[in-house]
Amino acid sequence: MKSKASSTNNLSWNSGLQHLSTNPKKPTKSIQKLMDANICSIKDLVWILPLRINVLPKLQEFSKIKISEYFKGRATVINIDLKPSFGKRGKNKVQLYNITASVKDTFSNGYLNLKWFNAYPNIKKQLEQIDEFEFLGSVTEYNSAPQIINPTLNPKSEEDLLKEYPTINGVTGNNLKKIIEKVPKYIWETPLYYFSEDLACELKTQNLNEILQTMHGFGDYSKKLQAKAKEHLIYFEFIRDQLKVTARKMAIKNVEAQKFKITKKSLKNFIRSFPYKLTDDQNTVIDHLLDDFNSGHPMMRIVQGDVGCGKTTISQVAALIILENNAQVALMCPTEALATQHYNSFKELFSNKYKVHYLLGSMKSKEKKETLSQLENGEIDIIIGTHSLFQSSVIFKNLKLAIIDEQHKFGVEQRLKLMSKGNATHTLLMSATPIPRTLQLAQYGDLDISTIKTIPPGRKGTKTRIVRQDNYEKYLSFIMTRVKLGEQVYIVVPAITESETLDIKNVEELSLKYKQYFPNLAVSSLHGQLKPQDKHSVMQEFEKGNIDILISTSVIEVGINVLNSTVMSIYNPERFGLSSLHQLRGRVGRGEKPGFCFLIPDNKLSFEALNRLKVIEKSNDGFEIAEADLKNRGEGDLFGTDQSGNLSSFKVASIFENFDLFQKSQADVTRVKENKPELFNPLIEELIKDKKISTTI
Ligand code: ADP
Ligand code: MG
């Protein structure tokens, strides 16, 4: 292995990356760029793995040349053509050239062109001085003849591997390779630990340095060794993740939290005040909550269940228990409309005894100030708001319960901020995106999960149909019929994240069309650039029934509950994940009237894409749909960009592709936890020291 000695020889895995520069005080530009991209230590650097490692070919005659493969040959120069190029280099603006060397094979009568673009003219000199030389490079095709661009001349024989690294923050793969080669040999030979040595030995990950070395193609090389190393690395990534998750779960048990109880009578009276009987699943989840609040440790629970299964009711019971114990509750939602809706329903339930208030981005500053001070002095018992709740100006007197609705809409960091506003705060997350069973442990291993499967009785449910060009007319007349019956219609177009202007255009264009289709109906539209007050008033008008057809982008409203709306039409459904479609249609068919969902795809939709949509037509089970989504789109998509949880931090592993290894890592970590729990102590201490538990999810 090649390794240029750096200025010091007492580096370690944890040394800063600047130490790979000759002058660590003034690191090279490339190293600085890597550090800017958060690759701070040698340990971080070695996790940037080659995209590909090619074993270099043996010396061969030209007849063996294959396009897009590497070729190594020996040749003599026949002719060199030199043309000034447009490129100039350096301060002195040195003229650069495009150089073509026609060369003849030493072993046969074959010919080949070697090319350099924007090159220094000394390549010509170099070639003229040698009779015969070897060259190496990747073969491309030009005018149906093979050529090699930028070949390596007289390649060193010991360099028999060609490694291609990715470009990171503007540092090219080639530069990256050179920097990685600067990691001294003695470091590669030092064991590399991410957790205690004991734990690493127990889980057999103590030779991670060797594994990474193989991955970088240092030392012995074979495809088999590489494959084995990769498998090991994947296992290590799962292990590291599972350890974190398990340690967090154990650490929670070390945090004391006040016990919150409620008398049977108060609970019963409260539940009786709902205009309906709770479903069995709702009752079970309430039992979970009672146990959690009484455990003496912070609750970390996620309640998942389809749209309309009644998660709000659960959060209201949770709030009651905390309020009865004179502590504060915060409820965070992703949109102002949803916050307002929750505010109204919480106010109705609680305002006779407690002060319920809201905190929205659109509030006037005087009102906001007043709200903040009442929150700090404890006058407000329960606050409902949007992202504004986790700003640093928000201080609670005694926050004991943080409820986060539609939790998948929030990033992990945002959730943490809200939780850390209290001391040993209980956390209740609610999600309408079912987590497929295969993912539950990976994604929420440190949370307790409650699942609501039953949908309240009396719902007529939602029928779903795909609308194509030939039945579009029929669809429109159906809309007319529903509106004549006094029902309301939602129409959703996909949001185009890159451009809000395009979103508006889409919404406005469609709304114009609908105004033409139905000149006598009240058609309104809603998009991201409306002022919050305007959005609010459109929503209110819709709730009051003054709008027949509401057209909006999908980002606008989540979890909204207007029982009189029975039709949900989704344009370009092919642009949505299946789970999102399922959630969208869940907004209708919640009342006594049946719901209808129309998927109106692009006319040119492919057969596969159409088949994918048919899952929605056929199934009404959120879990089944989530699993189908998973198969179609992989883990990243299911959780979207907001979900910067554990999954995205894997560099080589994928739960789906490496499911066996994932299960093995789980089993191994569980075994250690059961047999040698003391090995977890350093991890737990670290979490507690960093105040990362009770706040970390
Ligand atoms: P989600 O789980 O999507 O948040 P909500 O809590 O908004 O669902 O409930 C949807 C609707 O169902 C609301 O109108 C709510 O009042 C009603 N609901 C909740 N629980 C029940 C129940 N057990 N029986 C009948 N209706 C219920
Ligand atoms: Mg909800």
Each residue's pLDDT tens digit, 616-645: 999 988 888 887 877 665 544 444 333 333
pLDDT of amino acid 507:
87
Q: What is the mean pLDDT of the chain?
A: 86
Q: What does the pLDDT look like over 161-206, one tens digit per residue?
A: 778 899 899 898 889 999 999 999 999 999 998 888 999 999 988 8
pLDDT of amino acid 179:
95
Give the chain's end-to-end CA distance (angstroms, integer): 42
Q: What percent of the chain has pLDDT over 90?
A: 51
Taking the C-alpha atoms of residue 139 and residue 108, their distance in angstroms, rounded to an integer, is 18
Residue to substitute in 272, 282, 309, 592 for testing ligand 1 pocket (most ligand atoms within 8 angstroms of CB): 309
Residue nearest to ligand 1 atom 14, measured at CA: 561
Residue to substitute in 460, 561, 564 for testing ligand 1 pocket (most ligand atoms within 8 angstroms of CB): 561
Q: Which of 77-86, 298-307, 626-635, 658-667 has the lowest mean pLDDT?
A: 626-635
Question: Does 264-452 match 462-619 in CATH topology?
Answer: yes
pLDDT of amino acid 3:
45
Question: Which one is predicted more confidently, 200 or 420?
Answer: 200
Residue 292: exposed, middle, or buried by beta-carbon count in 10 A (0-12, 13-18, 19+)? Answer: buried
pLDDT surpasses 60 at 1: no
pLDDT of amino acid 597:
96
What is the full DSSP assignment across 458-505? T---EEEEE--GGGHHHHHHHHHHHHHTT-EEEEEE---TT-HHHHHH
Of 195-199, 419-423, 638-642, 684-688, highest mean pLDDT: 195-199
Q: Is the pTM of this model over 0.75?
A: no
pLDDT surpasses 60 at 646: no
Q: What residues are paired with 466 via a beta bridge?
A: 599
Q: How confident is the model at residue 262 (pLDDT cuts 50, 70, 90)?
A: very high
Residue nearest to ligand 1 atom 15, measured at CA: 310
pLDDT of amino acid 423:
85
- CA of 437 from ligand 2 middle (Å) equals 21
Taking the C-alpha atoms of residue 308 and residue 560, their distance in angstroms, rounded to an integer, is 10
Q: How confident is the model at residue 608 (pLDDT cuts 50, 70, 90)?
A: confident
Question: Average of pLDDT values for 340-357?
Answer: 95
Indicate which atom in ligand 1 lies nearest the CA of residue 307. 3
Q: What are the extents of the domains in the chain?
A: 1-54+173-182, 57-158, 191-254+657-697, 264-452, 462-619
Question: Which one is predicted more confidently, 230 or 634?
Answer: 230
pLDDT of amino acid 441:
63
Taking the C-alpha atoms of residue 40 and residue 20, their distance in angstroms, rounded to an integer, is 11
Question: Average of pLDDT values for 221-226?
Answer: 87
Question: What is the token pair recorded at 144?
Answer: 């149906």
pLDDT of amino acid 5:
43
Question: Which one is predicted more confidently, 624 or 598?
Answer: 598
Q: How confident is the model at residue 288 (pLDDT cuts 50, 70, 90)?
A: very high
The protein residues having their C-beta less than 5 angstroms from ligand 2 (an ion) are 559
Indicate which atom in ligand 1 lies nearest the CA of residue 561. 7
Taking the C-alpha atoms of residue 136 and residue 158, their distance in angstroms, rounded to an integer, is 13
Fold of the CATH domain 462-619: Rossmann fold (3.40.50)
pLDDT surpasses 80 at 86: no
Q: What does the pLDDT look like over 94-145, one tens digit per residue?
A: 888 999 999 999 999 999 999 998 888 888 888 888 889 999 998 999 998 9
Q: How confident is the model at residue 154 (pLDDT cuts 50, 70, 90)?
A: confident
* Ligand 1, pocket residues at CB < 6 Å: 276, 278-279, 282, 305, 307-313, 432, 456, 559, 561, 590
Lookup result for tokens 């079970």? 284
pLDDT of amino acid 35:
94
Residue 347 φ then ψ, to 5°: -60, -45
Taking the C-alpha atoms of residue 40 and residue 319, their distance in angstroms, rounded to an integer, is 44
Question: What letter would DSSP give residue 168?
Answer: B
In what helix (H) or strand (E) does residue 101 lie, and over which residues does it extend? strand 94-105
Decide: 232 and 217 in contact? Cβ < 8 Å: no
Decide: 122 and 137 in contact? Cβ < 8 Å: no
pLDDT of amino acid 14:
92
Taking the C-alpha atoms of residue 561 and residue 546, their distance in angstroms, rounded to an integer, is 16
Which of 611, 612, 581, 609 lies closest to 597, judged by CA? Answer: 581
Question: Which class is 264-452 in CATH?
Answer: alpha beta
DSSP 3-state of 578:
helix
Lookup result for tokens 């690493």? 200
Residue 427 φ then ψ, to 5°: -125, 130
DSSP 3-state of 668:
helix
Q: What residues are paired with 77 via a beta bridge?
A: 103
Question: Which one is predicted more confidently, 447 or 218?
Answer: 218
Indicate which atom in ligand 1 lies nearest the CA of residue 311. 2
CA distances from 201 to 77, 99, 198, 208, 373 (A): 58, 56, 5, 11, 53
Fold of the CATH domain 57-158: OB fold (Dihydrolipoamide Acetyltransferase, E2P) (2.40.50)
Which string of b and e fits 229-246 if b means at least 16 CB within 10 Å? bbebbbbbbbbbbbbbbb
Give the gyration radius of the chain's Cα atoms.
32
- CA of 313 from ligand 1 middle (Å) equals 7
What sections of 182-222 are H helices per DSSP? 185-188, 197-202, 208-215
pLDDT of amino acid 554:
75
Q: How confident is the model at residue 269 (pLDDT cuts 50, 70, 90)?
A: very high
Taking the C-alpha atoms of residue 490 and residue 560, their distance in angstroms, rounded to an integer, is 11
Question: Average of pLDDT values for 43-54?
Answer: 90
